[in-house]
Every structure is written in C-alpha cells, then in structure tokens.
Chain A
C-alpha cells in the first residue's frame, strides 16, 4: 500500500498555487551571459568566488558641499570628515523582502559617490546565493574608502540588513559606519507638511522636480529576483538595476538640496513647510535665535492649522525663556482655545497672571473660561484622556486660585505646582 506521504502535507503546497520550475546547468550559464551583456557588466572574482558588477558615470549636477551649519544639523557631534563630500558613499540595497531577519537577502547593492564632475554608480549583484560572500567582500573595499554613509532609511533597514548578511556569510568583519547620514529623518522634518508620504520617489517628483521615466513598483522586486534565480528572464532584473541607479542619483540630489537648505536657514525661500521644518531642526539643536526667526517667517508664509499652533507655541515658550513676557503673552492670547496648545496657552497665561503679574483675579477668570470652554467642547476636539487631564489640572488650579483670592494663602502654598516655580 505505498502512497506518497508528502502529497497531503499542507505546508508543502505552493503559496502561489502553481508549482515552480527551476532550470540549471547550461541554460543558467546562458542566462548569466545574456544579463551581463544587457547590463554592460563585468564578472568580478574575489577569494570567495565571483559576482556581477556594473559601473556607470552620470553627468549629474555639481556636488554640493556640506557647510558647518548644515553639518551641525545633519551630523551633530561628528568629526570633520562628515563635511568632506569626497568621503561620502551613497548606498541603497534591493532585497528579497522588507521583513528583515536572517532569511532576507540584499541581492543587489548599489553605491554612489561624487568624483570630479560626475556621479559614479557602482552596483554589485549576486546572480545566485552562492555569490553573496563574493559580492559582500567587494563592497567592503568601497565602505572602507568612504566612511561617511548616506542613505534613505538606511539606519533602520539597509545597514542592519547588511550587518546581518556579513555575519551570516562571514565574508568580512564590518564596523558600523563612522558617520551615517540617514536622509529619511530630515526629509520628514522638511516635507512632511507638503507630502502625504515622504518616500524617495515622491520627493524626487514633488521637491526636486526630477522625472524618472519608466520605473517599476518596488513591491515587484523580490518576485522578479526569485523568478530570475529559477532561470526566468533577465529583463525584469535590468529594470531593478535601473531602479536602483535612479534611487541613488535621487538620493544624491536630495542630499544636495537638504545640505543647501540647512546651510542658509535665512535664505530658504518661501515654502512655509520647509521654513518650519528647518526651524524645528534648529530649535532641536539649540539654535534658538535662528529658530525663532524661522518660526516667525514660517507663520508669515502661512502654515496649516496644527503646525501654525506649534510654531506659535514654540515662539511663546522661546519668548518666555528670554524673559519677553509681552511677546509671549501676545502669542498665548492668539492660541487660546480647545486644543492641547490652546489649553496650554490658558495655563501659561494663568501662571503668568498669578505669579508674575500678581493678579490672581485675572488668572482665576482665565481658568474659569478654560473650564467653561472645556465643558462645552465637542468630544472630538480632544482625546478622552487628555480631556480628563486638562479638566483635572484646571480644577486644581481653580480651587487654589479661589482660596487665594478669598485670602487663604496657606493652602495655596502647600499645593504649588513644581512647574510653576520658574
């Protein structure tokens, strides 16, 4: 009664429904040489075997420089080599998946750098899993020559993945890049207000006004590679090479744009979102004066509602720190309303009138108004937990102010918020 034990195993059923066929031997050799011809690629040999490499030079716009101001914002605390664009290496990988883990491969690694008037792109490709170690070894040379890595989301994705690949293949021992400029974060700062999704292709189109021409959707990439591994056509792989080249060139253009914006924050043009983003970055890095001027300018250009409130709030807080209460109060007064910033404005003004101006009656009136408006507000205006938090805070304040106004200061002293001891 012999029967096929494997035929009933659901874990062995093809995911796509259809079984796949794999070619080997001479057919595979032909596939490899057709691909090399189409790409103008060379086969490189290393002590670990061989892989494919393609090198191309593009007459792309002159490289930017990274001035001291931009360097402070993009790579705070890094050594002087961060500013030396001759040591920059742009990197982008094409992978068999996005989930990470030890079973995700970077089958194509593209790197780029500025050399003279040109942007050079070099791509390493494993035609089969057995070529991985060789490919990674070749890449090590470039990583060592240019220790400043520039990527888009490389800190969370490309670099950890490559680290895993080096550990898995033991091709080489690699160190974390000395300096890693991941442009995803500054791009989000600068263009989040303008773009729905801050992706590289979107940035190229909307911000850099570059046009890629025909391109492939990224989600098709793993499938194209799996097909190729089993002997499928080379064309879909050539498309991936082009896609990767465009990503790298786009990345270089983006770097130039960001470096320019950050170097001269006063001359960033009149895009409110960009000005606002630069100001947020300046603020985070402690450049308060420039940040305040930026917020002012962004407000002048017209910001969307949420960002408008943040800019006013930050300006008010900066003014308070400078001791410029008139300016701060004017901004708080504009902010009063049912939102976290609006309620904070009530709170800040109440604090001011209670402790600075010594007009507790005024503070009391503001607190009553805040509570009143909070009670009348629609449930959608605030998250329930925030509603509760603010409500409780203003009630505490109300009780204290009422007893103070009624002339019972003892209780008030005991309940003083630490936050209010400025």
Chain B
C-alpha cells in the first residue's frame, strides 16, 4: 500500500461538522444520535530512512514519494533487522506493508539467495501485494522474482515460482495442501527461507487461527529439516492482544510495534439508533433504510461516502437504492459502485481510480474491504449494523479519514442486542480496548489432523514436540488406527490417502455436509460442519450464503448432502434444538457472589433439532413453524458454566416458572455479551441450561430456548446451571477466557438489561417479549443483582 498517497482533496460543499450538527438538531428526543465522539488530528511522526537500506531501494521508495518514514515504520524495520519476530499493529492506511517489504527486499538485494514467504488470508490481498512488489522491482532493476502461488497459478508456471520466487505470496490453505506436502519440490525456498510474513493477523482467530498455528508448526518443522529457522513478521489491525495472539500462533517470542506515526485529520464517530416505531415491542425503523437515507444525505452534499453492510444481500439492496437515487444520464458511468469479495483486480483498479479522481462518489462494500485493500480514504463511512466487534468497527471507520479535511464515521444500529448495547453505551465502546482474539492450537481434533499431515511431510521423531500434548501417546493411537507405523525412532505415514486434502482450515472436523444449489444446473456452493449442519440446513430451513437466501429442499443425512434452491423471502429460520449437556472434567472452579459457582472444563453436548421457527426480518415476528425428525448429534467440547445455588433461587420472590423465564432471559443476554467481550461470532458459542455436577444426577432435557406458546411440566432444577460452550468439537479456546472474565461478564450483562428501554423484554436484551414470559426481564435482573453483589 502506498503509505503517502498524494493528498486527495475533499470536494464537498459543506464541512462534516455542519452535517453532524444538522443530524443532531433533528433528533429532538435525543435518542437517535446517541454519541458524537471526536478524535483529534494528529501530526506525522517522521524518522529518516535507516542508513542500512541499500541506496537503490531507498531511491525506489523516494521515486514513489517516500523519502522518509513514519516512526513506526522505522521502528519495525529496525527490529526486523535485529532478527526479532515482530507484530506491527497500526490502523488502516498507515503504511504497514512498507514495514515488512523494506527489510525483506533489502535482504534480497544484499543476498540474492534470500527467500520470503508471504501469507495473506485472501487472494485479492495477494494481488495488491504482487503489484506493489513488482512496481518496486521495476524501479530497482528487476533483481527479484515475486509470484503469487495459489489455486489460480497455472501448472506450467509453478516450476518458475518454485525456482525463481524470492518472494512467494500465498495463503494458508495453499501452504497447507499445496506447498508443505510437496516440500521437496520447494527445496530452493526452504533452504533459504529467512522471512515469513503473516498479514492481517487478526483474521486468524477461532477455528481458522487454531488451524494456522498448526500449519505454522508444520512449516517450522520443514524449515528445520532444511536447516532454517525463519523470522516471522506479522501485521494486525488493532485488537486487544496482538502480541499474545502472535505468540500463540508462532509459539515464539514476538515484539509488538504499535506506536503509530502516520498523520490524520480530525475525525468524528457518530452512533445512530433508528427511531422507535413501537416502543412497547421495542421495534425500530429498519436500519437498512436508515443507512440508505443517511448515506444519501451525505452523497447529496458532495461528500464521498463508503457504506458497509454485513451481508451480500444487504450490500445489493443498499447499492440498488443508492444507484436509483443517483441515476446518471444514459451511457454515463454510475457514481455509486458496489465492492465486494470476488471482484477482479482490473475492476477494483477501475473503482480505485474513479474514487481518486472523484468521479465515483460512493461505494457500497462488505467486510471484504475491512482488510488492507487499498482504496484510499473517503469523507464518510456509514456502517449499516454493528460489524460485530469493536476491532472491525474501528477498521471500517478507518476507511473515512483524510490526511487533511475532517471525516466522519456513522454506526447505524440494528435491533440486535449487541448493536443496542453498543449505541446505548458509547462510553463502553470508546473506553474499552478492542476485543481479544482467541485460538486453541491444542484442540485435539485440529491438532491430530495436522499431526497426520506432519507425519506425511516428514516422519515424526519419537522425541519431537508438536503442541502441548503427549505426542508419543497420540502416535500410538494413530498407529492403532492404521495411520502411522513406528520404525526405529520414527513414526511413518501408512495410508494411501493424502491427509491434507480432506482437512479444511475453516472447520474442525472433516465430517462436513456439502451444500448443492439446484436452482439451475446442480452446483456445490459450500460446505458446513456436521454440528452446524443440523441447525442451518435442516429441511425447509432458509440457508444464507454469500448474502443470498436458499431454501433447503432436502437433506440427505447419510450422504452428507443438502440440496437447496435460491429464493427471496422475508423471513429466516431458527432451529429449535433440544440440548443436553454433561460435564466430563472440571479444569477449574471457584465460588462467586450469588452464591454461585463458576467453572470451566470439558463437557459432552448432545443435541437434537426437533423443529424450526420462521422469523420475519426486521420485526422478528414469529410467522410459522415446523417439526423435524433429525438424528441426535453428540460432541465433546469445552464450556464455561455458572451453577446457581438453591439459596439464591429460593430467596427470589417469583414462581418457579418465572424464575426459569429469568434464567433463559439471562442466558440470552449473557450470550450476547460473551460474544462481544470475546470478539467471536455469536455462532461460535452455544448455550443451554441444565444441571450442574454431579453429572449422574439425571440428564434433564431442556429446550435451548423456551418454545413458543408457553411451557408445561415445569421441573425444579436441583442445581440450575447456565452453560456457555464452544460450538466446535474440542473447543477453540473461548471457555477459559469466559471463566476468567466472569465478573466483567455478569456486570456488562446487567448493564445491557438495565439500559434497555423496553417494558418486559425485547430482542435487544432478554429476548423478544411474548416469547420470554412476562416477568423474564425482572427475574433475570434479580438473579444478576445477586451475581453482581
């Protein structure tokens, strides 16, 4: 990315503060614009080009307009020069690619044998990087080869990449299936591998990150075989724990460079909560329509605007609205364009050029633009819906921000609990650091799969270390299962199959369902984990994929196939699942206020999808339901749970049924806050209510959510327990952190519920009124009061 683009002048007729003042003046009740936060301008912190940089490289950068460096760029280059692993944490458009390109290219110029491997999470980012490096190459007399190596690389070009690529740009999936299992063809690379660059580090969290950590274990093993121990250079968007995440991924010491030296002009962040249309039910105006209206107001005033939507469907809707509102004379190019994953580099260059020249006034994008793709900066960013995490909110907001001239980012809240919590608690958002990213490299399902790949790549020595597991015991198990054979001090691979082929870095087990679109000629459009399949692609479900809606026609359970057809409906489906949970092993437990007990450990989760509800978009009305007969699913994972004492429950002046409503409401709110605090997708967490230990004391079956239409047969729990569990077999590292932040979790949950303006429950706090029970909200609060005491 060009760190010092020529300064782009705003073409607007009015300035940003004026528009904000107008918005505020219209909000008479003072409940729509819930926050206007200012980030003061900052001066650039400069540092000279280090004297060890080769003159030809310094000249090439100077010719591109970079004569001196920002302070963080110089600091990063210096630490890399000293041989340290670093993670560079700076906001959007602060010139982070220079931080690694400068030292890497310098060492290629010093020693032409030097090799570097760049990992990007997406192909589009690889393309941007390729062009930047090729441009620098031309300016220094073509002294290095830079190639991308991915699924699109033609087979006749692959030999050249392997032999002549000083910098090989690829992605974790290709490294996993295409490079490591064939390392003998990559001898040149591995014998000289000095640097591994991992860009967009923050995207490697959860399942994907846990896989990457294992792929890197394999990479380091292979490098060691060729006598190399490469240095790692990571870059990350702002998250709470970049150093910790990098250290867990790399399993080596990492230094953090986070003192940003790039300049910026003053910036405003506005929180916008669509007005209420039904106060009792907690229903607000559609946030999509509000986002459109706001974006159009900015565009009308000549402010260049980017709109972010959370799905492809919403991107398309907003794009259509905005293009209609800004219709051009026939034959004239649109002034508002769409931008999402899958666009070709040429198309993107075209959009970038149009933005730079000012011909394109608006862009509607998905999170594809959250990553480091260079489109430069605009006047306004409108976010249609909370992006899910504080970190990505800042990243999207970072798309608005000129070096000179003020800019503004507007967050338009939907009615989801997270959105509502954020816009109603601006101090929480502005006062707290972004989320932490968690991974669990020692998740046994994931680790064992990579152990197979590792054995395929190089026999495993009996005294090798691969993660924090009992490797000899695991190898024995793999030998019993026919995967390995021990010969002397080594374990060898003894299968015909090629293990990496069946292991996807995006899911935990390889037992996946294939989703086949039959709208036209049958086409595979995706895969889904076994555990996710039952709740998302059951018969008659509405399956959302890439923003499109699909109706599940039938599910072939044995064949692991779901057949779908594209539809357009105004509802989504929510599976009704009965979940039974049983603690297997307590890792830690402690008594907490309440009195209650907090625990984390291993659990067995058995669940069965027994039906589904149809829920209308926006209003979240229940518009229908159906029964299903699907097999039961069993999973072992990790969980965090709170067991509420009988003392606490008996001290509450509610009926048994009301207390239970309260617990379900509490769990609903806990889940929202837990995913907020952990920076995880809401789907990464499962919840259920059950008995605490002892596990043998009857596995009471409870619906995950109270079924519509009231419950009968109310049993009193012996030890009522609220479970939040990792929704992936083996766990991805969410449970232990939840255990650690128990106090914060219950306090924030209380803030969410007390801060909600609804009468007795709504989708934004304890669940929609009418489904949660009349006194759910107050009962939940009563329990929380005790837990927070």
- Interface of A toward B, CB cutoff 8 Å: 1-3, 5-6, 8-16, 19-22, 96-103, 105, 128-130, 163-164, 167-168, 222-223, 226, 229-230
Contacts and interface: CB of A to CB of B under 8 A. Distances in A.
Contacts of B187: 167
A343 B158 CA distance: 37
Contacts of A15: 481-483, 495, 497
29 contacts: A1-B586, A8-B729, A12-B474, A15-B481, A15-B497, A19-B480, A19-B482, A21-B480, A22-B486, A96-B494, A99-B496, A101-B456, A101-B498, A102-B181, A102-B457, A102-B458, A103-B181, A103-B498, A105-B492, A128-B488, A129-B492, A130-B487, A163-B184, A164-B184, A167-B187, A222-B496, A226-B482, A226-B495, A230-B485
A222 B496 CA distance: 7
A229 B184 contact: no
B203 to A, nearest CB: 24
Interface in B477-518: 477-483, 485-488, 490, 492-499, 509-511
A130 B494 contact: no
A22 B479 contact: yes
Contacts of A103: 181, 455-457, 493, 498-499
Contacts of A11: 444-445, 448-449, 452, 509-510
Interface in B669-701: none
B539 interface: no
Contacts of A8: 636, 729
A6 B602 CA distance: 13
Interface string B420-453: 0000000000000000000000001100110010
Nearest to A98: B496
B448 to A, nearest CB: 4
A164 B184 CA distance: 6
B37 interface: no
B467 interface: no
Given A129-B490, A226-B485, 11 more contacts: A1-B585, A8-B636, A10-B509, A10-B511, A10-B729, A12-B481, A102-B182, A102-B184, A129-B459, A226-B495, A230-B485
Nearest to B586: A1
Contacts of B477: 6, 12
B108 interface: no
B372 interface: no
- What are the 10 A-B residue pairs with the smallest beta carbon separation, nearest first? A103-B456, A97-B496, A129-B487, A11-B448, A103-B493, A8-B636, A14-B481, A130-B488, A164-B184, A99-B498
B481 A229 contact: no
A129 B185 CA distance: 22
B340 interface: no
B325 to A, nearest CB: 40
A22 B487 CA distance: 11
Nearest to A161: B184
A223 B497 CA distance: 12
A3 B584 contact: yes
Interface string B179-208: 001111101000000000000000000000
A14 B482 contact: yes
Contact of B478 (A12, A163, A229): A12
Contacts of B448: 9, 11-12
Contacts of B473: 6
Given A20-B481, A101-B181, A226 B494 contact: yes
Contacts of A222: 496
B268 to A, nearest CB: 51
B730 A9 contact: yes
> SS class of chain A's interface: helix, strand, loop or mixed?
loop
Residue in B495, B496, B497, B602 whose Cβ sees the most chain A Cβ within 10 Å: B496
Contacts of B184: 102, 163-164, 167-168
A9 B444 contact: yes
Nearest to B693: A1
Residue in A1, A103, A130 whose Cβ sees the most chain B Cβ within 10 Å: A103
Contacts of B485: 22, 129, 226, 229-230
A98 B457 CA distance: 16
Nearest to B729: A10
> SS class of chain B's interface: helix, strand, loop or mixed?
mixed
Interface string B135-147: 0000000000000
Contacts of B456: 101-103
A206 B458 CA distance: 42
A22 B476 CA distance: 11
Interface in B528-585: 583-585
Interface string B147-188: 000000000000000000000000000000000011111010
B597 to A, nearest CB: 15
Nearest to B584: A3
Contacts of B482: 14-16, 19-20, 226
Contacts of B458: 102, 168
A202 B585 CA distance: 60
Nearest to A219: B496
A221 to B, nearest CB: 9
Interface in B568-621: 583-586, 602
Nearest to B478: A12
A13 B481 contact: yes
Nearest to A165: B184
Contacts of B455: 103
A404 B499 CA distance: 66
Contacts of A163: 184
B444 A6 contact: yes
B585 A3 contact: yes
Given A1-B585, A15-B482, A102 B183 contact: yes
Nearest to B530: A10
Contacts of B183: 102
Contacts of A229: 485, 487, 494
Residue in B444, B458, B490, B509 whose Cβ sees the most chain A Cβ within 10 Å: B444
Contacts of A98: 496
Contacts of A13: 481
A21 B486 CA distance: 12
Contacts of A167: 184, 187
Residue in A1, A101, A167, A230 whose Cβ sees the most chain B Cβ within 10 Å: A101
Contacts of A12: 448, 474, 477-478, 481
Nearest to B177: A101
B497 A99 contact: yes
A411 to B, nearest CB: 29
Contacts of A99: 496-498
Contacts of A101: 181-182, 456, 498
Contacts of A21: 480
Nearest to B180: A102
A102 B496 CA distance: 12
A130 B473 CA distance: 21
A105 B490 CA distance: 15
A25 to B, nearest CB: 12
Interface in B688-717: none
A101 B222 CA distance: 14
A15 B498 CA distance: 13
Contacts of B586: 1
Contacts of A6: 444, 473-474, 477
B5 to A, nearest CB: 43
B319 to A, nearest CB: 33
Nearest to A16: B482
Contacts of B511: 10
A129 B183 CA distance: 19
Nearest to B483: A15
Contacts of A168: 184, 458
Contacts of B494: 96, 226, 229
A396 B483 CA distance: 63
A223 B482 CA distance: 11
Given A10-B445, A164-B184, A128 B480 contact: no
A340 B473 CA distance: 64
Contacts of B444: 5-6, 9, 11
Contacts of B729: 8, 10
